[in-house]
Structure formats: structure tokens, C-alpha cells
Structure 1
Amino acid sequence: MKDENRLNSGHDQIRLVLRIVGPAILATGLLFLVVGMASFFTSFGSFQPPKYFWCCFVGIPLMGVGLAITKFAYMGAVFRYISAESAPVAKDTINYMAVETRDAVRHVAGAVREGFAGERKVRCSNCGVENDAEARFCDQCGSKVLTDRRCHECGASNDANARYCDDCGSSLG
């Protein structure tokens, strides 16, 4: 891996030391364990207690320490492998989710937008009562409900509830 892609290039020496020391301690612990177990099993042939059984109690912790150091030494390589293997799968999953959930997200976003906007109402120009946006006639007085308002100054069409013209800014009445 290139040095500019690493967080700290000084870790190379530490990593090299860990890659040598870790397996060496692991092998030493394994050797102690083998000697201790061999002493234990050979003592069955004689009626003497095992002479080097204590080596097992030294070997097992040494193996644990050596294994831990070796894990730290190869951690970067393992994580690079894991990320290289899982990144394409994660990318495909995210792309699939983005495509397949697009309609549902639009539906939910529309529902949220409607919830915040509230129900749209149109005010009757004759009596001032609010009516449904789709109403053609006022529920109160029966006069025709205007769906848009024309500006007296410029003639531009505006929303029925607008107070000022969108084009020129003059008051609509």
C-alpha cells in the first residue's frame, strides 16, 4: 500500500516488530505446552509425578499473549481484506434499496408534505367562507368560487388566497 494512503507511515516498523515478536512468543508458548503435556503423559508409565508439567502453566499464557500480538500485527491486512470483500456487496445493497424504495419514499414524502401543509382551502370572494380547493361554488352563499385572482394592475393570474400579486407586488384587494 502506498505511504500517502496510510494514516501513519511510522507504523511500518512497529508492525514489523509485532509480526516477528508475536509468532515467536506464540511458538515459545506452544513449545512450553508440548513439553508440559509430554511430561504429563510420560509420567503415566512410571509412578513418578510429572517433572515439567508446570510448563503448561507457562505455555498457555504465552500462547495467548503471542496470539494477541500476532492479531495486532496483521489487523490492518485483515481489515483491508474485509472491506475489499464487503464494499461491493454494501454498494449493491444501497443501490438496490435506493431504486426499489423510490416510490415508497415519494409516497411518504407526499404524505408528510400534505400533513404539514394542511388541507388546502379557497376563500369565497363574495362571503369570505373557506371552501375545499376543488369546490366550484361556495358552501355558504352558493356563488361561484374563483380558483385564481387577477391583478388589477398587471392582469397576472395569482392563487385564489393570494393577497399580493406574484408579478408586480400590488395588493389584490
Structure 2
Amino acid sequence: MNFCLFIIDIQNGFITPNTNHVPQRVKSLLEQNIFEHVIFTRFINTPNSPYVKYLNWHDLTSQVEQNIVAEIEPFAQVIFDKTIYTACNEETLDFLKRNDIQKVFICGLDTDSCVLKTAIDFFENNIIPYVLEYYSASTGGDKFHQASLLVLSQMIGVNNIVTEPLDRQNLNKYLQLV
């Protein structure tokens, strides 16, 4: 059974005082080279998006905001662009199927939106999601991050929330689970 790391939207426009610790943590994970497949997502907000129309949220519309954070950008060999919360779409599902990937380790920004929605959508597509708490955060702060982890523990299973930093030994523990 193959597995991959899904890095959700670690982009300049999502880096705030509540999230600025995430890129360095993710970089340390990537430097361990324990994932054969690493997929990055990049959120692109458009003028006619529901985020602009209904939430009056105009961030992530410029190229600078949309860029993957510089310290992890060199690791971004596979990038899927998206215009909605979820990264679980036909393109990513095809990639997972082609590579026989059945377990996905998810980290990134924001835990309370794109990470949460992606994890639930993978779960509903019969792909086992593990959310990496240590490598994720929410621009809204820790209360949103923790609330989303609580919801995810109910929706995808408490054992699918990884709370510790990941290394090869910890990863193997999750790979052996059904």
C-alpha cells in the first residue's frame, strides 16, 4: 500500500502570526525524505469566487500571495492548483489511483477549512487520511485549529489525528494500521 504527504496551501498569503511556525516544521519533515510522493496544493482566489462574493474575502488573489512559501518551495515538485477548500478532486484522485496511494498524510493551512475539508473528502473516497496536527495551523488561531481537530477526530477517527512530530519510526506505526 502506497502513501503520500499532502501539503495544503502553505502560501505567502496564509502566513500570519498564528501560522508562521508551520513552514519550518514542514521543511524539517520534508528534509527527512520519508515520503516517496509529496503533493503540494496552491489555493487561488478568483474575482468571482464564493469567498469574494459571500465572505468579502479578497486575499490570495495576487501571485505573491499565491506563491508557496520560499523555504519549502524547492520541495514542491508536484503542485495541484485549486479554487475551493478541498484538494480532493478528480485530478488528485486520479494521481492517487495511478500511484496506488491509499493512505494520505495531510498537513498545512488552514486546519479549520482546507485541511478539514480535504481530509473528510478523502475519507469519503475510501482513502485513509491522517491529519498531522504538529505541521498544521489556522490563520484564525489555535481555538480554530483545536476545534477542527476535535471535529476531525469524530469524522475520520481519533486515531487518524497524528499529534506528534513525524519521523520514519512514527510513520511506520501508521502505515501498519489498517
Shorter-chain TM band: under 0.3
Select the structure that is richer in strand. Answer: 2
- Structure showing greater relative contact order (alpha-carbon pairs closer than 8 Å, 6 or more residues apart): 2
When normalised by structure 1's length, the TM-score is 0.18
